[in-house]
Structure 1
Amino acid sequence: MKTAKIGLVGLCSPIESGGERHDELIASATTVLGQAGMEVVTAFRSVWNAGDALHVCDQMREADIDAIVIMDVTWVMDSLKYIFIHELKVPVVFWAVPYPETFSIGCVQNFASVLKTQGIKFEYVYGLADDESLISKIKKVAIAGTAIRRLKTMRVALAGPRQTWRVAGPQDMSLEEWDFSEKLGPTIIHLEMEDIMGEAEKISEADAARTLEELKSRTGQIKCSEEVMLQSAKMYMATKSLAEEYNLDGIAAECYPRYGGLMNQVASWLADEGFVVDTEGDIAHTVLQFILNLLTDNAPCVLGETGEVNNEQNYLVVCHEGSSPSSMAASMDKVVVNPSGETGSFVGVPVKQMDKVTFADFQGAEGKYQLFAATGSTLPVSREEWADAGEKMVMKLRSDSMSPACVVDKMISEGFHHHIVVKEGDLAEQLKVICKFADIKFVSI
C-alpha cells in the first residue's frame, strides 16, 4: 500500500480562548504523525472563518488526501466544520486538546452528535501529540481512507460462464454484481475461462518449459505429468497477460466443477507474487484478500473452509482444494503438486505455524454487507494429519478468544459464508476501522 496521506488542520475562533496555541499544537502534530509513517499535508494557514476553511479545502483536494484530522484548538461553530465534511468527503478524525478553558472536547462532542444524526462516520481523539495510542488511532483512519480509495479503483475479473438472459434486470450480469460494485467500488470485468485457455493455446511448449523452470523454486514436489505442468505454466502466462491487458487487481475464476484444477497451480504461483486468483468465482473473498494484502507487505493470504472442529485440542482444521501459495508451508519440501482431472492439478500445502494471524469472512447482498474478523494463531501440521486430510491445503487454526465450536457457531448464527481468509499479522482492528468508514457491519469475537 502507498503511504497514507493525511490532512491536518487547526480550527480557532477569534472570540474563544486558546487560539494562541495553534502553531505549537499543529507543529508537534505534524512532526509526530510524520514519524509514525504518514505523509502529512498540513494546512497552509490556521482556520478562523469560512474563507480560511474553503482555501484549506482547496489545498487538501489538490493534495489528494486519504483522510483528514481536524483539531479543535478552541470552541468553533458547527458551520465551520461542516465545510470540511461536505467539501472533502474523506474519513475524518476530530482532535480535542486537553485545555479546559477551550471546551475543545465539548466542541467535538457537540459536532459528533450532528454527524451521528446525519449518519456520517467519524473518529475522535483527545490529548496531545506525545500520546502513542492517539497517534495509532489516527494512523488506522488514514490507512482505512487509503484502502477505501484504492478499492474504488480496483478491477476484478469474473472468469466463468454467463448466458444472455434476465428476469427483470441486466442481460449478462446480476444485480448482485451491480450492488456490490456500487457499494464498495471495484469494477467487475467479465471474462470467460475460454479467454484464458485461448490465450494459453498461443504459447509454445518451449516458452512454457522456460517459465516452468523459472518457477521451479516455488513449485514443490511434482507428482503430475510434464504435460499437466506445461499446461499450468501456459495458464499462468496467459493469466498474467490478460491481467496486464485489463489492468486487473484480481481474478475470481471458475474452477470446480467444470474446470477443476486448471487454475489451482496458477493461483498458487500468483499468490506469492501478490496477485489474487480465487478458484471458485468468489468475488467477495477475492476483494477481501486484496484488502488484506494492501495492509501488509508480508506473506499472502490463504483461503479455505472449515473441515473439522477439534474442541479437545482447541483448533479448527481449515482445508481447501489446493490453490494456496507454497510460501505458506514451513519449507518447499513439504509442498506437493498432485494431479486433478485430466489436465489439472492441486497444490498440497500443510500451512506452517504462525504466532499471530487474522482470519476473516465477508458476506452480504443489496448494499448491506458484513465482515467478520478475529485474531488467532496456526499450529504445525504433521505429515500424517496432512495426508489424512487428502494432501490439500491443511491449516490448524486456533482463535485467541473463543473455542473452535463457538467460532463456527458465531459464523453460522451471523450468516457468514463458508470461506475463511487467513493472513499473517494482527489486522482485525484495522479491518474494523475500514468497515466503519466503508459502512460495512463489523462482527468480532
Structure 2
Amino acid sequence: MNEQLRMGLVGLCSPIESGGQRYKELLESASAAMRDAGIDVVVAERCVWGPADALKVCCQFKEAGIKSVAIMDITWVMDSLKYIFIQELKLPSVFWAVPYPETFSIGCVQNFGSVLKNFGVHFEYVYGLAHDKELINKVKNVARAGEIIEKVRSMRLALVGSRQTWRVAGPQDMSIEEWEFSKTVGPTILHFEMEEIIDAAQEICDEEAKMTLEKLSDRTGVVKCSEDNMVWMAKMYMATKAMIQNAGLVAIAAECYPNYGGMMNQAASWLADEGIIVDTEGDIAHAVVQYILNLASEGGACALGEIGAFNDTEDYLTVCHEGSSAASLADSMDKVVSNPAGNKASFIGFPLKAMNKVTFCDMQGSAGSYQMMIATGSTLPVSCQEWVEAGEKLVVKLRTDGVKASQVVDQMIENGLHHHVIIKEGDYTELLKMVCGYMGIQKVILK
C-alpha cells in the first residue's frame, strides 16, 4: 500500500485524575514517531477533558478523512468519554496505555475493552511510550487495516455470468448470498454477462489486437496456441479492461467452468501483473481476499489454486489450478506456457517459483458469518517432470510453517473451508488478523 495512512491521534484526560500534565509531551512524541513510521497523523486540535471536547475532535477527524484512530488514555477516564469516539467515528481503533502506575492507564484500557468485547466490537491496544518500535509498528498496522477496510467497503466488483430471473422468496436476479456478503464485507457487486465482453471483443479489429498482443509479449511466455487463438485472447483482454475502466472496477469474478473454460484465463494472467484481479471461477470471496492481500503488500500478484495432493514424507501440499495467475510468479518467462483450451480459449501453466515466505488464505461462510484461514509457509522448487505430471497447469509445492501437510487438509475440512486458496509472497499475518477482527470475520489459524 503506497499511499499515506491517515490516522487520528487523540489524548484523553480527566481533571480529577493524575497524569494530565504529561499531555503535551506524550502527544508530541507519539505524533513524531508515527510520522516517522509513515503514518499521516491528524493530531487532535485539543486535549479531551470532557464530552464537548470529544465531539469537537470527532468533527475535526471526520473533516480530515481519517480511516483509523489512536486513543491515548493519559489518565483514567470514564467509559462514556471513549464511547463518543467509538460511536461517532465507527473506525478501527487502537487504545494506547501509558506506563505510569498512578494513572491506571492500562487498567482503563482493560475496563473499556471489556465493554467492547461484550458488544462484539473489535479493538487493539498498545502499552508503552513512542520510542518503542514494536508499539509504533502495531499502531501502523492498525492504520493500514483502516485503509484496507475502507477500500474493501467501497470496492466495486463485477460478477460476470448469467443468473436467470427466478427466486424462491428473495431477489429476482441476485442471490441472498450476494446481499449478505455485500452487507457484511462491503463490496458493491455489479452484474455483467460474458456475452457483453465477447460482443465487445468481436468489435475490435485484428490489427489493433495484434498490436496489443505485441505489447504484452514480455509477459506472455511460450505460446502453444494458434495465432488466431492468441489474437482472440488479446481482444478479450482489451474488452475486459475497457469494462473495468468504464465501471470503475477493482476486481472481477468471472464464470468459467463448465461453459466458458479458459475464456478469461489469459486476460486474467495479463491483468494480474497490472494489479487488476480477475478470478476465473466466479469466486467473489477469493477475489476480495486477493484485493486485501494486494492492498497489504508493496506489489506483486496473488496465485489462485486448490489442493490437488499432499505428501507427508516430504511435507508439502501440491496446489494446482487450470491456470490464470500472473506470469511474474514464475522463475522465468520460458517456464510460462499458454496452452490451448479449445479454439478460442487458453490456460496459463507454469511451476510457481520458490519463495521463502508466503501467506496463504481461504475464505468461506454464509448469512453474514464468514471465516478466513490465515497461514504462512514457503513454496518449494517444482521440477519440470513434476509440472508435466500435474498437467502442465499452475503447480505449487507449498510447505506450511509448523503444520504437517495432512494436518493442513484435516483442519481445512474440519473448519469447513473452501477448496480455493490464495497465495501471496510475504508475511501479512498480523495485518490480516486485524482486518478480520475489525470486519467481524472469524480467524482460522492452523495449529
**2:233 aligns to what?**
232
Asked whether 1:152 is paired with 2:153, we answer yes
Asked whether 1:432 is paired with 2:433, we answer yes
**1:107 aligns to what?**
108
**1:323 aligns to what?**
324
Bigger shift: 122-131 or 231-240? 122-131
1:388-399 counterparts in 2 under 5 A?
A: 388-399=389-400
**2:37 aligns to what?**
36
Deviation of the 1:298 alpha carbon:
2.2
Deviation of the 1:85 alpha carbon:
1.0
Deviation of the 1:293 alpha carbon:
0.5
TM-score by length of 2: 0.98
**2:72 aligns to what?**
71
Deviation string, structure 1 residues 22-81 (Cα, Å, up to 9, x no partner): 000010000111111111111111111111111111100111111111111111111111
- Counterparts of 2:308 and 2:202 in 1: how far apart (Å)? 36
**2:298 aligns to what?**
297
Q: Secondary structure at the match of 1:330?
A: coil
Aligned partner of 2:207: which letter?
A
**2:273 aligns to what?**
272
Asked whether 1:337 is paired with 2:338, we answer yes
Aligned partner of 1:397: which letter?
L
Deviation of the 1:134 alpha carbon:
1.2
- Counterparts of 1:120 and 1:400 in 2: how far apart (Å)? 30
> Could you tell me whether the CA contact under 8 Å between 1:307 and 1:319 is conserved in 2?
yes
Deviation of the 1:332 alpha carbon:
0.4
**1:130 aligns to what?**
131
TM-score by length of 1: 0.99
Aligned partner of 1:219: which letter?
T
Deviation string, structure 1 residues 401-439 (Cα, Å, up to 9, x no partner): 101100111111000000000000001221111000000
**1:254 aligns to what?**
255
Deviation of the 1:111 alpha carbon:
1.2
Deviation of the 1:116 alpha carbon:
1.8
- Counterparts of 1:23 and 1:310 in 2: how far apart (Å)? 59
**2:207 aligns to what?**
206
Deviation of the 1:145 alpha carbon:
1.1
- Counterparts of 1:301 and 1:38 in 2: how far apart (Å)? 26
- Counterparts of 1:112 and 1:168 in 2: how far apart (Å)? 41
**1:56 aligns to what?**
57
Percent identity over paired residues:
61
Bigger shift: 137-146 or 53-62? 137-146
- Counterparts of 2:247 and 2:336 in 1: how far apart (Å)? 32
- Counterparts of 1:374 and 1:28 in 2: how far apart (Å)? 35
- Counterparts of 1:102 and 1:126 in 2: how far apart (Å)? 13
- Counterparts of 2:156 and 2:74 in 1: how far apart (Å)? 42
- Counterparts of 2:127 and 2:298 in 1: how far apart (Å)? 31
Q: Secondary structure at the match of 2:396?
A: strand
- Counterparts of 1:102 and 1:322 in 2: how far apart (Å)? 58
1:319-398 counterparts in 2 under 5 A?
A: 319-398=320-399
Deviation string, structure 1 residues 230-273 (Cα, Å, up to 9, x no partner): 00000000000000111111111111110111111000000011
- Counterparts of 1:219 and 1:228 in 2: how far apart (Å)? 13
Q: Aligned pairs, how many?
A: 445
- Counterparts of 1:170 and 1:50 in 2: how far apart (Å)? 44
- Counterparts of 2:212 and 2:119 in 1: how far apart (Å)? 55
> Could you tell me whether the CA contact under 8 Å between 1:298 and 1:424 is conserved in 2?
no
Deviation string, structure 1 residues 117-157 (Cα, Å, up to 9, x no partner): 22221111111111112112111111111111111110110
Q: Secondary structure at the match of 1:349?
A: strand
Asked whether 1:410 is paired with 2:411, we answer yes
Bigger shift: 214-223 or 138-147? 138-147
> Could you tell me whether the CA contact under 8 Å between 1:324 and 1:349 is conserved in 2?
no
- Counterparts of 1:310 and 1:398 in 2: how far apart (Å)? 10
- Counterparts of 1:78 and 1:320 in 2: how far apart (Å)? 51
**1:80 aligns to what?**
81
- Counterparts of 1:115 and 1:421 in 2: how far apart (Å)? 32
> Could you tell me whether the CA contact under 8 Å between 1:270 and 1:276 is conserved in 2?
yes
Give unmatched runs, 5+ long, in structure 1: none
> Could you tell me whether the CA contact under 8 Å between 1:253 and 1:281 is conserved in 2?
yes
Bigger shift: 106-115 or 306-315? 106-115
